[in-house]
Structure 1
Amino acid sequence: MREAISARETWPFECLHCLRVWEEEYVVHRARDEQGVDVVVWTRDDVAVQPPWSGMTCPGCGCGTVTTFPTGYLAHHPEITLGRPAVKAPAGETPARGAPFASHALLTLALLLLTGAGLYERLHVR
């Protein structure tokens, strides 16, 4: 390996299931091998890991549906607290889990009912 460069990068994440927000620090080793091919190795705590955009799971709920923010995003948004849900619930309430799924399910159910009613009318009238 030649021309090796290492840099620390902090990546912010958000779980799309429980809305937890957290950061992970990586050391990125970039090098070029003897054939001129670029090689990138991501490490966390001196252990080689997958890149941040691949295979991350939420430390809170274990869900694999995780997204990243641009580097420095959280520094410009102090309203987002690390380790906490990104959306604040009204006083005395906890954020609803699975709310996005529930809204899609209700919409699908409503469409099915309307379609079914229309079909019933067509079949019943004839």
Structure 2
Amino acid sequence: MREAISARETWPFECLRCLRVWEEEYVVHRTRDEQGVDVVIWTRDEVVVPPPWSGTTCPGCGREIVTSFPTGYLAHHPESAPGREPAAQAPAGGTPARGVPLASQALLTLALLLLAGAGLYERLNAG
């Protein structure tokens, strides 16, 4: 491999199950191999880890239902800062009562309406 360039990156995350918010710091090593192919290696505490968008696990509930934010997001959105109380706690083995993304609620509602409409359509055309 050729000479590497390393940089520290802090990635903010939120668990979509328990709504925990936290940050993780990575050291990113960028280089090119002998064939000229870009190589990126992510490390935390000097241990090679997957990139932040792949396989991040919530330190609170252990689930991999995690989203990340752009670097610097939490500095501009203090209501989301680590240590804040989540909007709702998920019951053990359940899903949060509040804090479910609006898009997910809308998709679920649409799916239920389509199912109900299909059943009604079948009844009206059967007779």
Aligned to 1:119: 122
Shift of 1:26: 0.5
- Aligned with 2:79: secondary structure? coil
Residue type of the alignment partner of 2:96: R
CA gap of 1:18–1:85, structure 2 versus 1, over 3 A, is farther
Shift of 1:105: 4.7
Instruction: Tell me the TM-score normalised to structure 1 length.
Output: 0.73
Mapped pair 1:108 → 2:80: no
Aligned to 1:29: 29
- Aligned with 1:2: secondary structure? coil
Shift of 1:83: 4.6
Mean Cα displacement is larger for which, 70-79 or 1-10?
A: 1-10
Aligned to 2:2: 2
Mean Cα displacement is larger for which, 112-121 or 58-67?
A: 112-121
Aligned to 2:53: 53
CA gap of 1:121–1:2, structure 2 versus 1, over 3 A, is closer
Query: 2-side partners of 1:41 and 1:20: how far apart?
Result: 27
- Aligned with 2:4: secondary structure? strand
Deviation track 1:42-66 (CA, whole Å, cap 9, x = no partner) reads 1111110011111112122222222
Query: 2-side partners of 1:43 and 1:85: how far apart?
Result: 29
State the superposition RMSD in angstroms.
2.7
Aligned to 2:76: 76
Number of residue pairs matched by the alignment: 119
State the percentage of identical aligned residues. 64
Aligned to 2:62: 62
Question: In 2, are the aligned partners of 1:13 and 1:67 still within 8 Å (CA)?
Answer: yes
Q: Where do 5+ consecutive residues of structure 2 fail to align?
A: none
- Aligned with 1:79: secondary structure? helix
Question: In 2, are the aligned partners of 1:17 and 1:98 still within 8 Å (CA)?
Answer: no
